[in-house]
Every structure is written in C-alpha cells, then in structure tokens.
C-alpha cells in the first residue's frame, strides 16, 4: 500500500513540474468511499485445528479509495488508484484486509464533456493484495494465502466528475477488477462502486 501511494505522489509531482505546457492540462486527486463485492469460494477451514470448521466469507464491507490523474491533453490522461477495506474483515476466524491498486490510461469523451460534467473511461493493470492478521502462526498455516497474498489484476472503470465549483468535484464511479486466480473468493471478477470528493486544477 505504501509503495503505490509513493508512486501516485511521484507521478503527479513529476508531471506538474514539467515545463511543457501540454504535460499539465489537468491534474486532480480524490478521496472516495464505497464497497467491492465477490462471492465466497465455499470453503470451510479448521483454522485452529480443534475440529471447528469456519466458512470463508464473501467479499464486501466499507472500502476507501485514493486516486490521482494527469491529463496530457483535453481527452487523454493517466491515473493511479488505490482502494482498500477500511475495517479489517473476518476470514475463517482470522482478520484480513484486501487492497486494489492500478495504473490506468484514461479517455475523456469530448462529445459528453461539458463545463460541469466530465466522464472518464479507464483501463489499466495493477494488483490485489490480501493481508491477514493473526496471533497464532499455526492458525495462519491452515488458511491458504496467509499471511499475505498478491494477485495480478486488470482494471476497467467508468467515472464522472461533477464539478460543484471551479476546482471541487464529486466523482461517482463503477470499477471492475479481473483478479487472476482469486482463489480466496468465489469469482475472479470483482465489481466495485464508490463516490468520491476531489480537487482539480489546470482545466
């Protein structure tokens, strides 16, 4: 999580600092709130080796998100996103926290863009990390992927900036993550929904 935050900061600062006018048409960042969903894989795990089986959960709960983007012209940009389950969840009697991160290309359709409304189509690649918290190493050993597992993901997203003022915007978004071999849960396709508040400049 720390590495992707550093990458976002470096990306934005490097492009903002560029002396070329075309390299900083529009720079923005946002904070979002929402949820991601996936089904349970249906497994039951004897986590503490005491004969009690614990079911693996479905993916859900409250997620937070951070993102930043830089447009190199009016329609084409790049962005970085990070989202994570804000409270840890329960996974077969252990605590866990998933986090998604991606680097995307962004396209803003000129046909649907107005002064106050800016739709975005996004596609990119990144990863998903699932990290577990536990007190008993033997319990961790019973749960596949514990203490930490990472999966490659392909990310697709649709979002709209709704400007409330010259620089402040709301950002409803729908994202879909294709997570390679996401065996901790029941499906490789993970939809995510969020609403964010952002700040942009250089429009």
* Cα 185 to Cα 56: distance, rounded to the nearest angstrom: 8
Q: What integer pLDDT is reported at residue 6 of this predicted model?
A: 55
Query: What are φ and ψ of residue 21, in 5° steps?
Result: -60, -40
Percentage of the chain surpassing pLDDT 90?
82
Q: What integer pLDDT is reported at residue 22 of this predicted model?
A: 44
Q: Which residues lie closer than 8 Å to 76 by C-beta, 6 or more apart?
A: 105, 106, 107, 108
DSSP 15-47: HHT-S-GGGGSEEEEEEEEEEE-B-----EE-T
Cα distances from 174 to residues 18, 80, 131, 171, in angstroms, run 31, 15, 24, 10
Q: What integer pLDDT is reported at residue 76 of this predicted model?
A: 95
pTM confidence score: 0.87
* Average pLDDT for 187-199: 98
* Tens-place pLDDT, residues 68-78: 999 999 899 99
* Tens-place pLDDT, residues 132-177: 999 899 999 999 999 999 999 999 999 999 999 999 999 999 999 9
**Rg over CA atoms, the chain:** 19
Residue 197 predicted with pLDDT over 90:
yes
* Local confidence band at 25 (pLDDT 50, 70, 90 cut-offs): confident
For the chain, the residue count is 203
Q: What is the mean pLDDT of the chain?
A: 90
Angle 145-151-154 (CA atoms, 0-180°, nearest 5)?
A: 155
Domains contained in the chain, CATH given:
2-201 (2.40.160.20)
Beta bridge partners of 43: none
* Cα 146 to Cα 121: distance, rounded to the nearest angstrom: 35
Q: What integer pLDDT is reported at residue 202 of this predicted model?
A: 79
Q: What integer pLDDT is reported at residue 21 of this predicted model?
A: 44
* Cα 106 to Cα 36: distance, rounded to the nearest angstrom: 21
> Which comes out higher in pLDDT, residue 70 or 16?
70
Which is nearest to 113 in space by CA: 141, 71, 51, 59?
71
> Which comes out higher in pLDDT, residue 9 or 55?
55
* Cα 147 to Cα 80: distance, rounded to the nearest angstrom: 26
> Which comes out higher in pLDDT, residue 90 or 7?
90
């Amino acid at each position: 999580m720390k590495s992707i935050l550093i990458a976002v900061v470096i990306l934005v600062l490097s492009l903002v600092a560029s002396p070329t006018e075309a390299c900083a048409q529009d720079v923005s960042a946002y904070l979002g709130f929402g949820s991601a969903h996936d089904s349970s894989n249906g497994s039951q795990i004897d986590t503490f080796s005491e004969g009690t089986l614990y079911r693996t959960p479905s993916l859900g709960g409250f997620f937070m998100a951070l993102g930043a983007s830089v447009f190199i012209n009016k329609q084409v940009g790049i962005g970085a996103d990070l989202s994570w389950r804000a409270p840890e969840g329960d996974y077969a009697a252990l605590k866990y926290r998933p986090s998604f991160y991606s680097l995307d290309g962004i396209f803003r359709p000129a046909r649907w863009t107005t002064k106050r409304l800016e739709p975005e189509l996004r596609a990119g690649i990144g990863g998903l990390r699932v990290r577990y918290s536990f007190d008993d190493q033997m319990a961790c050993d019973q749960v596949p992927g514990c203490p930490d597992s990472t999966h490659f993901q392909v990310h697709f997203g649709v979002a709209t900036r709704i400007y409330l003022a010259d620089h402040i915007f709301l950002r409803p978004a729908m994202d879909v993550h294709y997570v390679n071999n996401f065996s901790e849960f029941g499906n490789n396709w993970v939809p995510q929904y969020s609403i964010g508040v952002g700040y942009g400049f250089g429009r």
